[in-house]
Structure 1
Amino acid sequence: MKKLFWISLFCINILSHAHTAVPQNTLIIIIVDNVIVDRLFIHDLDPNKIEKINVYKSKIENRPILDDLTQNGILEITLKEKVFIPKLNIKEAKQILKLENNAPVFLNKIKVNRDHILVTEDLLKRAKIIQLDKINGYQSAALSLESGFF
């Protein structure tokens, strides 16, 4: 299983650097047990605890909640046993950071359209509040989160 894990990461590295597949300087979104995590979480993950790994490069059947996030690729990891992951949803993150309910949220520069997507608390610790251009129709500050590889 450990070998499969590292082979999967190697394949994602190749996919993310292919000129026709993914633009340069993009980050693949990493999901562990339905929670978007950061790359540091993956480094601490024991490969022996992994049940399966899926890599998505386009819309995911039966998972429309993630459709808008697949454009840079998603690495989805399912663990054999549940592990405690400190998490919150996008709506809760906005409240903690005192942002307006309609404030846009970007994950790896992709606009997140659903407030109930789960992210780790670690992502929130490194979040950036950005002021967006009012010309593009944004009226409030936005939340920018970065997670992923490459």
Structure 2
Amino acid sequence: MTTDDSGGDASEMDQRQTPARLRGLPSRLLALTAARADRLISEGLAGEDARKWHYAVLASLDEYGPTSQAGLSRRTGIYRSDLVAVINELAERGHVERTPDPEDRRRNVITLTAQGGSHLERLDEVFAGVQDELMEPLSKLERELLTSLLERVLDH
């Protein structure tokens, strides 16, 4: 995390003391906003004993159904070596099941459990609350426009 000279969070810096050529840079504004969003999400998920990767795995399984660990890695962008630990954590909590693939016994299929689906619903509420907090200064129409513009920039 970036800090100012007093050791404070960069998002708490006095914008009047930020050089003008930095203040309006879209890349800087995106980075600072992303850092704030990441902090809010991490704090919200911690209250549910979860992490961002837990949410990504549960959401992927809910939307696309059971898959191999390799398929889950492709869907979520989580490195396979890191994904094993995430799946282990979720399995220990009863949120996913790991079973041998009937077509290839060397491979596991990961499935969302009913308990995992309930947990995902709670995490969806956390994400919705964080989105509301993050976007509080914007109207519903402005939020939709910002989302649309960010998707366009990202897709470019």
TM class by shorter-chain length?
Answer: under 0.3
Structure number, greater radius of gyration = 2
Q: TM-score, normalization: structure 1?
A: 0.23
Higher relative CO (Cα under 8 Å, sequence separation at least 6) belongs to 1
Name the TM-score, length of structure 2 as normaliser: 0.22
